[in-house]
Structure 1
Amino acid sequence: MTLRKIGRILSAWIGLGVIAAGLSSPADARIVRLDITRQEPAFGGRNFGQVGGYVRLSGKAHGEVDPNLPQNAIIQDIRLAPRNARGMVEYVTDIDILRPADPDRGNNILLFEVHNRGRKLMLRNFNDGLAGNQADYNNLTDAGDGFLMAAGYTLVWYGWQADVAPGDGRLTLTVPAARNPDGSPLTGLVRAELTTATPAKTLNLSSGWFTGLTHASYPTASADNRTAFADGFLPTLTVRARQQEPRVAIPNGDWSFGACNDADGVTSGDRQICLPAGFQPGRLYELIYRAKDPLVTGLGFAATRDLAAFLKRRDKDLAGTANPVFRRGQRAIIMGTSQSGRMIRSFIHLGFNRDEQGRTAFEGALPHIGGGLMPLNVRFSQAGRAWGEQVDHLYPAYDFPFTYGRQRDPLTGRNQGLLDRCRANGTCPRIFHVATALEMWEGRQSLGLTDPMGRRDVTDPANVRTYIMASTQHGPANLPLPAAEPFGVCQQQQNPNPHIWTLRALITGLTDWVVSDKAPPDSAIPRIADGTLVAPDQVRFPPIPANAYGNVRRPQVRMLRVTNPLFQLDYGPGYVAADTSGVITVEPPRQSTAGYGLLVPQVDGDGNDVGGLRSLFLQAPIGTYTGWNLGRKDRFEDGFCSLAGSFIPFARTRQERLDTGDPRLSIEERYPTPAAYAATVKAAAERLVAARYLLPDDAARLVGRAETEGIRLGP
């Protein structure tokens, strides 16, 4: 052995010693204690290919944040939070981890999911054939076909949203409430949009379209709604049938804080509202009240950062408890769906992908159906709210910047991009931004593809790829679809066009990019330049008549070209729109008259999108799949049916479509024989595999179904 080789070996051992010493250094610790309360074989000891079995580890991670570090200064109210004896602000997050029983068989990737309002969605998004309901998904009772496990990922779930209520396996985060410097309760303005699916006399103050019983309410500062505060403020309750209609005041004598009781009275309380006349479905009730005890919810960003840093880089906590997933050289990818995708975008935007030691927390990020931003770093944050055209329309969710790259906003005069902070310190992850056609229609997603006025295409930065899944809705409709009206709260059956096969290919592509620097699949988006991204009044949607295809009666499709307009919203001088952070003092917000330029996908003669990533189901269609649907009578009629697209099947025969007056070709005209249908599916699968938008094994599975099951007559 040469002296040079001996020197290299000694240097390597010395380097490992330095690394090991650093891993045990208290100065590196922000997750100070790990409590694993449950460890057991996952999924009944099932094996997943060459990776083998999995172990499930559950418990809590105890963290603390130094409020004096520059990285943490942006956290709203961090200086008003109580501190421990070390001057730190503490939090506790639930953790739930699945890792290979034999870590050597894993792929060395920690795949974090940002939960959606406490719910685990990752297995449903990637593993085919998952059994059960959402509570089963939360409790990890089934692995479906085990796609993520067979690939060797270590899966990490944790709590980040402090107002999520426990129950049904939801993940929670415990953070302190901010207080005034003298220790007295901190109060402020809260606007609670209240909705209900069934008539009710009592609602929680958090009872929104997406929140309800799953979210804790901010308590009112006074349960007396009829006596004004010293400064003259008096809470108000209004109602309207649609977002665009005037608010109608409900007199304060007609409602109370608390719960209606059986004796036609009220049990006073500070987290509920009683309306003896009853709250009705299909109505927007808006309560504006003075609340107390705001949670320091921005700590959810810090918990995300710190848990990634700990699990990747530390072998044990300060008490010596071993990190159960530690392996040197691991990479971390963060993914999240809908609300959780917006959280990831804000996490990066606010600079939290740089940990307290200045290192990159996540090497990869996959925000899925998560356009816009997350108002987590706002006093009295309501992070469970969204950005609907009818529901949750006025909550902060779509402040400029809209794009990852930097550009100028002519309405605010700001020059910004979501990657400004991470670019400045070299901690940007590689990003796959994945959205649906519904985000284009209802979710303002075109602002991520163009300049703010919708006049020209923009280019993503080199570390970003964008994929718009053509003719899909926010989350695919569950099968079987309802066979008779009413179709839920919508006018048409919802869109079942799946995301799963595309997502499996994309997580594989992102992993390859992060681990081995393999070039990712090309972005797939509609564009102004090629006419696939247009103004809503330019969409050439076919006239689809009322029909009874498959013995299901459907009304005529009404293309009203509804949009979800975006204007500047003024929440008061304490709100920092550039960071979706701060203190809201104006509710409802003041709205400017100048709006941003929103565009939508152009369609073909069937009404299916022509731009973006066209899945196998769109290339061998059996109907029209849209990214929009309308609300039915008494349910925000003719506004967007929240988060829903439409599915309208083709007629089965030429004669049936002619009798109906349908301009779209029938199934028999498209696919004269089962073999012709199978050939169409196979050709589409080959194109998608070549572009790396479909995995070869999944292509073989889908083609095999077409060959053995024949022409699909239902979604």
Structure 2
Amino acid sequence: MLLVIAGLGATPAHARVTRIVVDEVTPLIGEQRGYERLRGRAFGELDPADPRNAVITDLRLGADPDGKVRYETNWVITRPVGRKAASGFLWHDVPNRGGEVRLQPGELAAGDIGLRSGWQADNAGSTGVPRWRPEAARHHYVRVPIARVDGMPVTGTVMARIVNRRGPDSQPLLVQGNPVPYLPVSLDTSRATLTIHTKETVDGRITTAGAVDPKDWAFARCDAEHPFPGKPVDIDPSRAPDNLPIHVCLRDGFQADRVYQLTYTAGNAYVLGVGMAAFRDVGAFFRHEKADDTGTPNPIAGQVRGSAIRGVSQSGNMVRQFLFMGLNQDEAGRQVHDGAWAIIAGRRVAANARWGQPDGVLELYQMGSEGPQWWVDWPDRVRELPAKGLLTRCTASKTCPKVMEHFGAAEVYALKLSLEWVGSSADVDIPLAPEVRRYYVAGSPHGGGAGGFRHPGGTTPFSCPGNQFGQATLAPNPVPHRELRNLLSAAMRDWVLKGTPPPPSRYPTLARGELVDPTREAMGFPAGVPGIPDSVFRPENFVFPVFDYDWGPDFDRVEAAGVPDRVPPAIRRVLPAKVPRVDADGNEVGGVPTVLTMAPLGTYLGWNITANGIHAGQVCNYAGGYVPFARTRAEREANGDPRLSLEERYRDHAGYVAAVRKAADRALAQGFLLKADHERLLKEAVASDVLR
């Protein structure tokens, strides 16, 4: 249903959303009762001559004949209606790979407004631009131009990797489960290179088996019915994303435990930074404007007193990139958002370089750690880059938001987080800007675990995240982020609307001796913990370090922008990393008080061990792990386990409940636990089967 809303007079739309349409209005039910959802689209334009847009790579190469660059994106608003009291606070949530985002129960109860809109402009998979009926899309997309010179698409080299696949069937070119977005300009395999890797270590050492003869592979789909050379793939850019993913067919099939690395020439270079600017403009429109240029009213005009941009994981990295690019200031010079919350994110998303792949998760040869990752201006001494920070541009324009970030141990071990804390030299605690708060959930997995008090906990095998990375060896880590996230949601609202400061930052530092070298000895990790061999702590297996890549002379190493023309890049150097120190149980020290780690049932790890494939024996990308304590002393001694058993620690169920109560009281007293969560955790502990 297309609604044309009339009423308010048109005012100039400085944010450069020139037109909106509301395609659907739906009353919500269940826990969202009292809310309605609006789905719509926004159409906007950018001025390449505006200095605020100059940061966008290839912007002028995407201009229409009149010199403007245009985009289309969809958006979703959830707003309280009827007698539901509105808080006046807007969350502008960044979709993760085109997915939907919902307000949390506490935010619904408070009467917050939710806004989501597209930003990831690579037009592939779950971010693909609908070719038919865009008004019906249920994922978030943004349509942006392709870079052209003299009317012809620019071309360049793109890399894709096929990991741990086997068998005669063709395999897709994927990055973190989504299709690689760039189409080859030719099916001629002599113009591409397919190389086999038989070994890759986490510290960047590669063993190759050479290149595959161009006659022995094809850009094609093949299976038992269509054997090699198979059916050629469709490489017409006008039919993207429907012709993705691109497939590769091998004459002799794929072998497990190998990486097939492909470089080829592509020709549909999306101007990715336009998607970032579109997100800015949509946020500015709904925050500031009364109506679009045609007179269609802003459906939440006058209802927003404060707002925050928020993203989780990949979309949290987008928040950091958004601020680094100075996009919290719109084309009219206004501040877009009052707050920013980057969740489980410690890098910048690759969304402003030609041929960028925003879906990447910092696996080998993926962008994301280039340039400053810290908040204040700070020199990058090892990479010999000038002093700069994520807030440099907004500080100059006086448009910086109040910033919160929180993350856990998985981000340290696989997502290269320590660079943000200690810089490229890993020998100094980089200070935080005055209005930045940082919170670390020690020993927790990516996004937090399931929580609860279960022993021994889940043991179901699960896959390592990433592109066919392998299977995990250890049980999943249950340490939750739920309680901290509930607290910080309320804290951000109060910080923006009332000026109430949130809790002080809590994270490990060098100065307190909480960050150490990533070795078993420096960490103090106990020997003999069941399921954890000493070999996992070797440099080739353990922490994913930051690589200082050489992407070529046309790539800006500070901005992570421009044109990477050396693909794959050379590794100039491997930067040192730090990890948190651990206690006698192998549990990390430092960070916010978390009930499950203060009343532990085992060792909670920000890493796991890969069981199979080319990464066997290495950390399982960014999966967390859990090694439960033995129940009795006799059991632990039989297993050679150096850690005290549950009975030795707590004696019985009542003793464990008392430990949970003490931990919850401590977290509550320190301001890191809401009263409602305190009561819930105590009830869960009483109802648990621990030592029953």
TM-score, normalised via structure 2 length? 0.88
Counterpart residue number, 1:56? 37
Counterpart residue number, 1:472? 444
Instruction: Output aligned runs, 1:605-624, within 5 Å.
Output: 605-624=584-603
Overall identity of the aligned pairs, in %: 34
Q: 5+ unaligned residues in a row in structure 1: which ranges?
A: 1-19, 128-145, 229-233, 547-553
Query: Given the alignment, which residue of 357, 362, 382 partners 1:382?
Result: 357
Q: 5+ unaligned residues in a row in structure 2: which ranges?
A: 1-6, 129-136, 236-245, 452-456, 465-469
- Per the TM alignment, residue 46 of structure 1 is displaced from its structure 2 partner at its CA by 3.1
- The answer on whether the counterparts of 2:308 and 2:339 sit within 8 Å (CA) in structure 1 is yes
CA distance in 2 between counterparts of 1:318 and 1:197 reads 52
CA distance in 1 between counterparts of 2:391 and 2:428 reads 20
- The answer on whether the counterparts of 1:313 and 1:328 sit within 8 Å (CA) in structure 2 is no
Counterpart residue number, 1:673? 652
CA distance in 2 between counterparts of 1:47 and 1:592 reads 52
- Per the TM alignment, residue 395 of structure 1 is displaced from its structure 2 partner at its CA by 1.4
- Per the TM alignment, residue 204 of structure 1 is displaced from its structure 2 partner at its CA by 3.2
Counterpart residue number, 1:46? 30
- Per the TM alignment, residue 635 of structure 1 is displaced from its structure 2 partner at its CA by 4.6
Query: Given the alignment, which residue of 253, 261, 269 partners 1:294?
Result: 269
1:515 is paired with a residue whose SS is helix
- The answer on whether the counterparts of 1:678 and 1:710 sit within 8 Å (CA) in structure 2 is no
**1:2-43 alpha-carbon deviations (Å, 9 max, x no partner):** xxxxxxxxxxxxxxxxxx99x94325251122222111111x
- When the two structures are aligned, how many residues end up with a matched partner? 643
CA distance in 1 between counterparts of 2:143 and 2:164 reads 27
Counterpart residue number, 1:3? none
Q: Quick one: structure 1 residues 315 and 694, their matched pair in 2 at CA, closer, same or farther if it must change by over 3 Å?
A: same
1:30 paired with 2:12, answer no
2:310 is paired with a residue whose SS is strand
1:449 is paired with a residue whose SS is helix
- Per the TM alignment, residue 148 of structure 1 is displaced from its structure 2 partner at its CA by 2.4
Instruction: Output aligned runs, 1:388-403, within 5 Å.
Output: 392-403=363-374
Instruction: Output aligned runs, 1:224-373, within 5 Å.
Output: 224-226=188-190, 228=191, 234-243=192-201, 244-248=205-209, 249-260=211-222, 262-264=225-227, 265-269=229-233, 270=235, 271-373=246-348
- The answer on whether the counterparts of 1:47 and 1:54 sit within 8 Å (CA) in structure 2 is no
Q: Quick one: structure 1 residues 147 and 409, their matched pair in 2 at CA, closer, same or farther if it must change by over 3 Å?
A: same
Counterpart residue number, 1:445? 417
**1:577-615 alpha-carbon deviations (Å, 9 max, x no partner):** 11111101001112213x433100001111111111231
1:495 is paired with a residue whose SS is coil
Query: Given the alignment, which residue of 49, 60, 73 partners 1:93?
Result: 73
1:174 paired with 2:143, answer yes
- Per the TM alignment, residue 316 of structure 1 is displaced from its structure 2 partner at its CA by 1.8
Counterpart residue number, 1:560? 537
Counterpart residue number, 1:79? 60
Counterpart residue number, 1:147? 106
**1:222-281 alpha-carbon deviations (Å, 9 max, x no partner):** 11112x4xxxxx434433342533232222111111222523232222333222433345
**1:170-214 alpha-carbon deviations (Å, 9 max, x no partner):** 32111111111x212211111112236665632333x13x13xx3
CA distance in 1 between counterparts of 2:495 and 2:462 reads 46
CA distance in 1 between counterparts of 2:35 and 2:303 reads 20
CA distance in 1 between counterparts of 2:423 and 2:295 reads 52
Query: Given the alignment, which residue of 523, 526, 535 partners 1:542?
Result: 526
1:165 paired with 2:144, answer no
Counterpart residue number, 2:631? 652
CA distance in 1 between counterparts of 2:118 and 2:265 reads 27
CA distance in 2 between counterparts of 1:324 and 1:84 reads 32
1:218 paired with 2:182, answer yes
Give the RMSD, CA atoms, in angstroms.
2.4
1:490 paired with 2:454, answer no
- The answer on whether the counterparts of 2:90 and 2:304 sit within 8 Å (CA) in structure 1 is no
Counterpart residue number, 1:432? 404
Q: Which has the higher contact order (CA 8 A, sep 6+)?
A: 2
- The answer on whether the counterparts of 1:601 and 1:609 sit within 8 Å (CA) in structure 2 is yes
Counterpart residue number, 2:622? 643
**1:68-105 alpha-carbon deviations (Å, 9 max, x no partner):** 211112211111114265x4211111212211124861
- The answer on whether the counterparts of 1:237 and 1:252 sit within 8 Å (CA) in structure 2 is no
TM-score, normalised via structure 1 length? 0.85
Q: Quick one: structure 1 residues 100 and 522, their matched pair in 2 at CA, closer, same or farther if it must change by over 3 Å?
A: same
Counterpart residue number, 2:609? 630
Q: Quick one: structure 1 residues 173 and 246, their matched pair in 2 at CA, closer, same or farther if it must change by over 3 Å?
A: same
CA distance in 1 between counterparts of 2:355 and 2:385 reads 28
Of the structure 1 ranges 280-289 and 235-244, higher mean CA displacement relative to structure 2 is found in: 235-244
Q: Quick one: structure 1 residues 681 and 200, their matched pair in 2 at CA, closer, same or farther if it must change by over 3 Å?
A: farther
CA distance in 2 between counterparts of 1:174 and 1:216 reads 17
CA distance in 1 between counterparts of 2:412 and 2:691 reads 28
Counterpart residue number, 2:428? 456
Letter in 2 for 1:91: Y
1:238 is paired with a residue whose SS is strand
CA distance in 2 between counterparts of 1:66 and 1:98 reads 30
Q: Quick one: structure 1 residues 394 and 382, their matched pair in 2 at CA, closer, same or farther if it must change by over 3 Å?
A: same
Query: Given the alignment, which residue of 176, 186, 190 partners 2:158?
Result: 190
Letter in 1 for 2:215: G
- Per the TM alignment, residue 568 of structure 1 is displaced from its structure 2 partner at its CA by 1.7
CA distance in 2 between counterparts of 1:282 and 1:665 reads 38
Counterpart residue number, 1:577? 557
Letter in 2 for 1:314: E
Runs of 4 or more off by more than 6 Å in structure 1? 484-488
